[in-house]
C-alpha cells in the first residue's frame, strides 16, 4: 500500500509541475502535442521548464535529487536552461533549520554546541540532498584552534529513502519479468547496489573512513587535496573535518582570472580518476561539480579539492585487470581483443562469434577516435554500445554501475573545463604504464617480495619435512639401508637448497636488469 501511495505521489508531482507536457511536447505526432495542451488547461505552468523540473525533483526526495545532479553534468544531452537549473541541486538544496542541526549535534555529543565548538556558524555554507555543512572553530587535542566544517545529516532521511527504494524494487521486478531484456539488465541487482550506496551515505562515520582512505591513497599524487578528519568529533549523524578553502570548479571565469591552467586542470582530473580506479581500486563516485573545488593557496595552487565522500566505488583485482585491458584495447582500436575479452569474462554467451561482435564494436567506436572532447559524447557512445549489447545478449554488471556513472561525471567536468581535451590520448599513456606495472617485471618483483616471508620460513624446514616423509615410508631391511637412505636424503636436500639459492639470486638479478631496460624505454 505504501508503494502504491508513493507511486501516486510521483504521478501527482509530475502532473503538478507539468513534466507530462515536457515529455509529450518532445514527440512529433500532432495528436500528442494536442494532448499536451489539453492537459495543461487550468494549471499554472508559467515557470520555466528547468525550474519546474528542479522543483519536482526536490519535492520527490534525495534519490531524485541525486538523479538531477547526474543529469546536470550532461550539458551535451540537455538544453542549457535545464542544465543550469539542475546545477542548483549540487549544493543549493533548500537547507533545514539551524536549530535542527544544533539539536542533532547536541544529541550526538551529549553536551551543548557551545561546549563542543568555540564558534559555530548557524548559516549553512552548503546544503545537499543528504546533509548540510556549517563552518565552525574547535580546539584540537594539542590546544590549537582549527577551522573546521561540520556536516550534519538531514533528519528523517531513512524512512523517505526506504519508501523510494521499495518502489524501485517493485519497478525492477516488473522490468525483469515483463521486459525481454529484464534478466540481462539485472535491474534488481542494480537497485540492490544503489540501496547499499544510499545507506552508506546515511552513516557519516563511514563517510569519514572513506575520506581518510582516499587521503592516504592520494598523498603522493600532489594533484588533489582531501580534508583531514577529526575522529574525536565524528558520529553517524555528525562529521567534523578540516575546512577547505577553494573556488568551486564550476566558476571557470574566476579560475581563469586567478591564472589557473584550465587545460592542465582538465588533464589532472582524468589522471586522478584513472589513478583511483586502476591503481587503488577505490574511487570517489560522486564527482559532480558541487563536490569539487580548486585551491588558490600559494602552497597548493591549482590542485583539486575533493569533498563529500558518502559514495565511493571499489573494484576487485580481476575487475581492474579486465577494465584496463578493455580500455587499452579500445585505445589501440583492437576491437577483436575487446570482443574476446567480453567472451572470456562470460559477459556474452560462449557461442558468440568473435568476428560479429568485433564488427559491431568497431562500427560504434571508430567514428569517435581522433576527435576533441567537444565532438565526442560518451553518453551517445554508451547508448549505441547498449543497443549493440542487446543484440549480443551482453549481461549488465551491477558492480560497475558506479564506475559508469563516475565516468559520465568526469566527461561532463572535462567538457566544461576544456572542450578541446582529447580524453583518449590523455588516458592511454596512463593505462599502458599501469598495464606494464601489472603484467611486467614490476608485478613479479612485488609478488616475490610479498611471498618472501613465507619462503624464508619454508626453506629451513625442508630438511625436517624430508626426514618426516622418510619416517612415514615402509620399514626397509637392515639398519645400514636406513642410514644410507638418510644420507642420500640429506645430500638431495643440500643440492635443493643450493639450487634454490642460486636460482633465486639469478631470478632477482634478471628482474633488476629487465626493470632497468623497461625504465629506459618508458622514461
Beta bridge partners of 145: 139
Provide the terminal-to-terminal Cα distance of the chain, rounded to the nearest Å: 65
Instruction: State the average pLDDT over residues 452-456.
Output: 68
Q: Which residue has the higher pLDDT, 378 or 24?
A: 378
Compute the C-alpha angle 326/329/330, nearest 5°: 85
> In this structure, how many other beta carbons lie within 10 angstroms of the beta carbon of residue 329?
18
148-157 burial code (b ≥16 CB/10 A, e <16): bbbbbbbeeb
How far apart, in whole angstroms, are the C-alpha atoms of residue 98 and residue 112? 14
State mean pLDDT over 455-473. Answer: 69
Q: How far apart are the C-alpha atoms of 349 and 343, rounded to whole Å?
A: 7
**pLDDT at site 243:** 95
When pLDDT is cut at 50, 70 and 90, the band that residue 376 belongs to is low
Residue pair 418/249 in contact (Cβ under 8 Å)? The answer is no
Q: How many residues does the chain have?
A: 523
Higher pLDDT, 431 or 296: 296
Residue 164 a catalytic site member: no
pLDDT digits (tens, 9 = 90+) for 219-247: 988 899 999 999 999 999 999 999 999 99
C-alpha cell at 76: 551535451
Rg (CA), the chain: 29
pLDDT tens column, 381-412: 665 666 666 677 766 665 566 777 777 777 77
Which tens digits make up the pLDDT trace of 319-364?
Answer: 777 777 777 777 778 888 888 887 777 777 778 888 888 888 888 8
Q: Between 330 and 272, name the one with better pLDDT.
A: 272
- What is the pLDDT averaged over residues 443-463? 68
CA atoms within 13 A on the CB side of 159: 3
Contact 35, 24 (CB under 8 A): yes
> What does pTM read for this prediction?
0.69
The pLDDT of 152-156, averaged and rounded, is 89
- Report the Cα 232 to chain-centroid distance in Å: 28
Lowest mean pLDDT among 116-130, 205-219, 234-248: 116-130
Identify the active-site residue in 286, 308, 319, 422.
Answer: 286
Percent of the chain with pLDDT over 90: 23
| Selected residue with higher pLDDT from 234 and 158 | 234
State the Cα–Cα distance between residues 384 and 66, nearest whole angstrom: 25
Amino acid at each position: 500500500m505504501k508503494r502504491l501511495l508513493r507511486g501516486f505521489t510521483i504521478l501527482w508531482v509530475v502532473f503538478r509541475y507539468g513534466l507530462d507536457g515536457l515529455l509529450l511536447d518532445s514527440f512529433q505526432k500532432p495528436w500528442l502535442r494536442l494532448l499536451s495542451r489539453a492537459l495543461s488547461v487550468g494549471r499554472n505552468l508559467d515557470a520555466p521548464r528547468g525550474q519546474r523540473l528542479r522543483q519536482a525533483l526536490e519535492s520527490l526526495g534525495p534519490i531524485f535529487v541525486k538523479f538531477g545532479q547526474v543529469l546536470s553534468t550532461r550539458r551535451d544531452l540537455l538544453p542549457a536552461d535545464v542544465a543550469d537549473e539542475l546545477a542548483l541541486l549540487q549544493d543549493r538544496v533548500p537547507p533545514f533549520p539551524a536549530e535542527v542541526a544544533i539539536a542533532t549535534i547536541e544529541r550526538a555529543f551529549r553536551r551543548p554546541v557551545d561546549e563542543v565548538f568555540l564558534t559555530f556558524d548557524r548559516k549553512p555554507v552548503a546544503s545537499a540532498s543528504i546533509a548540510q555543512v556549517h563552518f565552525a572553530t574547535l580546539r584540537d587535542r594539542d590546544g590549537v584552534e582549527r577551522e573546521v566544517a561540520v556536516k550534519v545529516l538531514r533528519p528523517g532521511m531513512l524512512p523517505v529513502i526506504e519508501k523510494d527504494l521499495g518502489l524501485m524494487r517493485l519497478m525492477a521486478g516488473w522490468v525483469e519479468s515483463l521486459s525481454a531484456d529484464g534478466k540481462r539488465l539485472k535491474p534488481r541487482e542494480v537497485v540492490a547496489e544503489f540501496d547499499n550506496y544510499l545507506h552508506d551515505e546515511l552513516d557519516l562515520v563511514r563517510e569519514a573512513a572513506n575520506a581518510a582512505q582516499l587521503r592516504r591513497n592520494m598523498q603522493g599524487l600532489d594533484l588533489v587535496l582531501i580534508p583531514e578528519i577529526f575522529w574525536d568529533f565524528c558520529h553517524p549523524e555528525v562529521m567534523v573535518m578540516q575546512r577547505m578553502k577553494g573556488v568551486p570548479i564550476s566558476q571557470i571565469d574566476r579560475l581563469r582570472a586567478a591564472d589557473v591552467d584550465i587545460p592542465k586542470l582538465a588533464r589532472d582530473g582524468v589522471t586522478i580518476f584513472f589513478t583511483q580506479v586502476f591503481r587503488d581500486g577505490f574511487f570517489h563516485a560522486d564527482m559532480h561539480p558541487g563536490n569539487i573545488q580548486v585551491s588558490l593557496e600559494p602552497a597548493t595552487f591549482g590542485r583539486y579539492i575533493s569533498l563529500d565522500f558518502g559514495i565511493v566505488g571499489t573494484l576487485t583485482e580481476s575487475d581492474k585487470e579486465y577494465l584496463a585491458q578493455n580500455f587499452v584495447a579500445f585505445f589501440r582500436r583492437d576491437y577483436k581483443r575487446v570482443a574476446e575479452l567480453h567472451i572470456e569474462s562470460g559477459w556474452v554467451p560462449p557461442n558468440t562469434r568473435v568476428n560479429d561482435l568485433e564488427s559491431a564494436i568497431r562500427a560504434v567506436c571508430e567514428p569517435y577516435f581522433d576527435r576533441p572532447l567537444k565532438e565526442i559524447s560518451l553518453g551517445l557512445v554508451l547508448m549505441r554500445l547498449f543497443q549493440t549489447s542487446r543484440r549480443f545478449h551482453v549481461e549488465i554488471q551491477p558492480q560497475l554501475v558506479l564506475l559508469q556513472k563516475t565516468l559520465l561525471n568526469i566527461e561532463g567536468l572535462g567538457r566544461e573545463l576544456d572542450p578541446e581535451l582529447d580524453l583518449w590520448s590523455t588516458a592511454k599513456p596512463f593505462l599502458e604504464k599501469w598495464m606494464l606495472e601489472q603484467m611486467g617485471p614490476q608485478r613479479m618483483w612485488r609478488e616475490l617480495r610479498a611471498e618472501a616471508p613465507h619462503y624464508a620460513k619454508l626453506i629451513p624446514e625442508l630438511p625436517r619435512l624430508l626426514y618426516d616423509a622418510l619416517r612415514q615410508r615402509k620399514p626397509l631391511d637392515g639398519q645400514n639401508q636406513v642410514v644410507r637412505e638418510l644420507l642420500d636424503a640429506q645430500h638431495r636436500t643440500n643440492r635443493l637448497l643450493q639450487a634454490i639459492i642460486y636460482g633465486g639470486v639469478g631470478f632477482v638479478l634478471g628482474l633488476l636488469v629487465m626493470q632497468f631496460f623497461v625504465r629506459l624505454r618508458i622514461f
